[in-house]
């Protein structure tokens, strides 16, 4: 059981927008703006896409955006492209005994 | 080139030990907090351990506490993970990961290695 809850899968067509949710608790997502998102293509290492809820690292497309409301953070990908097909993981700082938690991951399929 | 390269993975029997290494290059390794994150086959990411830039502060997931030890050698730009009393559930790809700098302001992982596979046979 992952500490953060993500949908197992989402899908969309090229050009469309999709949103992946990441639900935590008041011990993590709800109390800290330290949510990050990672993209992982099959057989590859994860790559940072969003940090501190809504910030993009240099080099990441502005089609990727993040937000948060209450205990739920979201990753939105607009103008879907075939290369966006990958697994996406959220992560957050947590005030529990383990300082870092991840979501279970969401498989994005671009139809 | 800024990169992290893990090594030391392999097949070990349950109860055995392994030592993973992670060679850092292209950045000032001694400034950064470093972590190990693992991913079991077909599963999600799980945080394992962290160490501060000086090597004086460490932390572990409950599942590995008392069995794994993280360390670093800043002179050699290398991170380590000593894994003892290995169990089948420790089977995973282990990633060496860099935390954003400065650590006090950055709670995310901005650089990942390609990982090393650890397989525990029962």
> Quick check: B104 pLDDT over 90?
no
Task: Looking at the complex, report in whole angstroms how far the Cα of residue B113 sits from the nearest Cα belonging to chain A.
Answer: 7
Would the CB atoms of B107 and A52 count as touching at under 8 Å? Answer: yes
Q: At a CB cut-off of 8 Å and minimum separation 6, what does B112 contact?
A: A45, A46, A47, B4, B37, B95, B96, B97, B98
A58 to chain B: nearest residue by CA?
A: B110
Instruction: State mean pLDDT over B75-99.
Output: 98
Per-residue DSSP letter, A23: E
**pLDDT tens track for B33-72:** 999 999 999 999 999 999 999 999 999 999 999 999 999 9
Q: Given CB atoms, is A82 within the 8 Å cutoff of chain B?
A: no
Give the distance from residue B49's alpha carbon to the nearest chain A alpha carbon, in angstroms. Answer: 9
Instruction: Give the pLDDT confidence score for residue B52 in this predicted structure.
Output: 95
Q: Does A25 touch chain B (CB under 8 A)?
A: no
Compute the nearest-CA separation of A96 from chain B (Å): 11
CB contact, 8 Å: B32 with chain A?
Answer: no
Residues of chain B positioned with their CB less than 8 A from the CB of A57: 110
Residues from chain B that touch A89, judged by Cβ atoms under 8 A, are: 44-45
pLDDT, residue B9, reads 97
pLDDT digits (tens, 9 = 90+) for A29-87: 999 999 999 999 999 999 999 999 999 999 999 999 999 999 999 999 999 999 999 99
């Amino acid at each position: 059981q992952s500490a953060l809850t993500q949908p197992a899968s989402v899908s969309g067509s090229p050009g469309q927008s999709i949103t992946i949710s990441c639900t935590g608790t008041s011990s993590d997502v709800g109390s800290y703006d330290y949510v990050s998102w990672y993209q992982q293509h099959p057989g590859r290492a994860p790559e940072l896409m969003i940090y501190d809820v809504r910030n993009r690292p240099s080099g990441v497309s502005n089609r990727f955006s993040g937000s948060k409301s209450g205990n739920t953070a979201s990753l939105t990908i607009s103008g879907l492209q075939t290369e966006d097909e990958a697994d996406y993981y959220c992560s957050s700082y947590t005030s529990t005994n383990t300082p870092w938690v991840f979501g279970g991951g969401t498989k994005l399929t671009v139809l | 080139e800024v990169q992290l390269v893990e090594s030391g993975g392999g097949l070990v029997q349950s109860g055995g030990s392994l030592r993973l290494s992670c060679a850092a290059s292209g950045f000032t390794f001694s400034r950064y907090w470093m972590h190990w994150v693992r991913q079991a086959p077909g599963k999600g990411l799980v945080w394992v351990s962290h160490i501060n830039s000086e090597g004086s502060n460490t932390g572990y997931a409950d599942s590995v506490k008392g069995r794994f030890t993280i360390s670093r050698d800043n002179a050699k730009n290398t991170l380590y993970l000593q894994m003892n009393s290995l169990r089948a559930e420790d089977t995973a790809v282990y990633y060496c990961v860099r935390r954003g700098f400065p650590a006090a302001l950055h709670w995310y992982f901005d650089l990942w290695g390609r990982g090393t596979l650890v397989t525990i046979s029962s």
